[in-house]
Amino acid sequence: MTARDVRTAGFGKPTRGRRGYQESQVDKFLDRIENTLLGQDDLTASDVREVQFSRPMIGRRGYDETEVDAFLARVEKQLSQTPPPPAGPPVVTSWKQLRAIRIPDASPGQRGYRTTQVDRVLEEIGIALDGMLGASSEEVEKTRFALAMTAGQGYDCAFVDELMPMLVAELKRKNK
């Protein structure tokens, strides 16, 4: 299931005599599911299993409960089988904080960035963050890393690509 599947999900009305689930609450929860699948929220399978929705006002019918529950069961199953996405890089203002970051390895099917190149640049950035000579923000912005020779080696490209602009911004903030 993709974020698009969640965005385009539709539910019918319950049968006469049943009120169903309040649509606005279901829609808000679907937004959270979509964001989780995009890596922008942190819903768990347990959150999906335990969610409860109110009934619409008397005289109104919301979404059919059985359709919503079936959809959420599929979401719960997927979230329980999918490892959580790696957390984004933390804020870094010193070399000590930079050294504490554990950059995730590339996934088995991905060629990551060469670790020696990334480590060398991060060391130069760390030196500059602590006020000594080191890499400038302009040099870091221009840095491009080579990919590892085989899949499953190197650092996770997405993590490094997210980290580098944050470090450039911090260097600029420190007039480096």
The DSSP result for 20-81, as a single string, is -B-HHHHHHHHHHHHHHHTTSS---HHHHHH---PPPPTT---B-HHHHHHHHHHHHHHHHH
Which SS3 state, helix, strand or coil, does residue 129 take? helix
Q: How confident is the model at residue 98 (pLDDT cuts 50, 70, 90)?
A: confident
63, β-bridge pairs: 21
Domains in the chain: boundaries: 3-81, 95-173
Which position has the higher pLDDT, 74 or 91? 74
User: Is pLDDT above 80 for 89?
Assistant: no
Mean pLDDT in the chain? 89
155 vs 65: CA distance, rounded Å: 44
Whether 104 contacts 128, CB under 8 Å: no
Q: How confident is the model at residue 88 (pLDDT cuts 50, 70, 90)?
A: low
Q: How confident is the model at residue 124 (pLDDT cuts 50, 70, 90)?
A: very high
Q: How confident is the model at residue 13 (pLDDT cuts 50, 70, 90)?
A: very high
User: Is pLDDT above 70 for 87?
Assistant: no
The token pair that represents 56 in the structure block: 């619409």
| 8-state DSSP, 152 | T
Which position has the higher pLDDT, 88 or 97? 97
153 vs 109: CA distance, rounded Å: 9
User: How much of the chain, in percent, has pLDDT values that exceed 70?
Assistant: 95
User: How much of the chain, in percent, has pLDDT values that exceed 90?
Assistant: 48
Whole-angstrom CA distances from 123 to 40, 144, 168 are 29, 15, 14
For 24-80, write each residue's pLDDT tens digit.
Answer: 999 999 999 998 887 778 889 999 999 999 999 988 999 999 999 999 999 999 999
